[in-house]
């Protein structure tokens, strides 16, 4: 388990240089390269979309059979199928909005002492805050490159409960992550970064 620390500051007061310790040097900054826009589905989200599209196709393919059956009224069937299709569309919209909302508010940094994830969000008073999740470098932590697509992600820490990060909102999790992500612990990652290999080498060089 990593020695992850969490703090927050008012968004209006945030300055990355101000949260650095006197003995820290900023080595790298970044943000997710994919998923920040509405039309950039990723990971598990793509599976959900395919499943919903397939479900809608199967539903409407059943229309001729249901109309020919005396047990169903064509108008009621039309309303039912339209309602289910609308539910699929709203689900897809909600998934994309949540994923965009989380990823567009993430910012990453690596110093010679820590790997840092910054997440903009609101607390229970609806105040705009920057949540800072800091993970000290140490050689015994199992840093891992996660095979997310289209870009890999780099795990740099672990949280026990995502609600520790943001009491009001989705924390670091979103529907584009694998379904098993966060069931027991919540990985703290630099998600969707094109230079994940180089960043991993940079962090490991700081642990020596």
Regarding whether 128 and 61 lie in a shared domain, the answer is no
Do 151 and 62 fall into the same domain? no
Same domain, 161 and 88: no
Lowest mean pLDDT among 23-32, 69-78, 96-105, 120-129: 69-78
Give 168's DSSP letter: B
Same domain, 122 and 23: yes
Q: Is the pLDDT of residue 184 over 80?
A: no
* Same domain for 83 and 21: no
Distance between CA 206 and CA 110 in Å, rounded? 10
Q: Which two tokens stand for residue 76?
A: 């009621």
Residue at which a domain ends, from 58, 77, 101: 101
Residue pLDDT, tens place only, 112-154 = 999 999 999 887 778 888 999 999 998 889 999 999 989 999 9
Assess whether 118 and 141 both reside in one domain: yes
Domain stop point among 101, 132, 147: 101
The residue assigned the tokens 């009621």 is 76
Q: Are residues 117 and 20 in the same domain?
A: yes
Same-domain status, 95 and 177: no
Tell me the CATH number at 125. 2.30.29
101 contact partners, CB below 8 Å, separation of at least 6: 170, 174
Same domain, residue pair 116 and 181? yes
Determine the Cα–Cα distance for residues 37 and 28; give it in Å rounded to an integer. 23
What domain count does the chain have?
Answer: 2
Last residue of a domain, one of 53, 79, 101: 101
84 and 56, same structural domain?
A: yes
Q: In this structure, are 116 and 194 located in the same domain?
A: yes
Same domain, 96 and 164: no
Q: What residues make up the domain containing 117?
A: 5-38+105-207
User: Among residues of the chain, what percentage have pLDDT more than 70?
Assistant: 89
């Amino acid at each position: 388990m990593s020695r992850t620390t969490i703090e927050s500051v008012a968004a209006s007061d945030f300055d990355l240089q101000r949260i650095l310790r006197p003995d820290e040097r900023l080595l790298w900054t970044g943000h997710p390269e994919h998923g920040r826009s509405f039309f950039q589905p990723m990971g598990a989200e793509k599976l959900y979309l395919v499943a919903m599209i397939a479900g809608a196709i199967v539903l409407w393919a059943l229309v001729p059979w249901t109309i020919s059956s005396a047990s169903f009224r064509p108008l009621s069937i039309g309303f039912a199928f339209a309602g289910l299709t609308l539910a699929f569309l709203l689900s897809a919209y909600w998934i994309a909005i949540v994923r965009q909302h989380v990823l567009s508010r993430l910012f990453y940094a690596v110093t010679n002492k820590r790997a840092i994830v910054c997440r903009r969000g609101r607390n229970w008073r609806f105040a705009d805050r920057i949540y800072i999740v800091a993970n000290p470098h140490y050689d015994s932590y199992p840093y891992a490159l996660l095979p997310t697509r289209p870009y890999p992600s780099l795990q740099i820490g672990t949280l026990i409960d995502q609600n520790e990060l943001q009491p009001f909102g989705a924390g670091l999790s979103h529907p584009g992550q694998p379904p098993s992500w966060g069931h027991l612990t919540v990985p703290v990652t630099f998600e969707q970064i094109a230079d994940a290999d180089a960043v991993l080498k940079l962090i490991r060089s700081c642990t020596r």
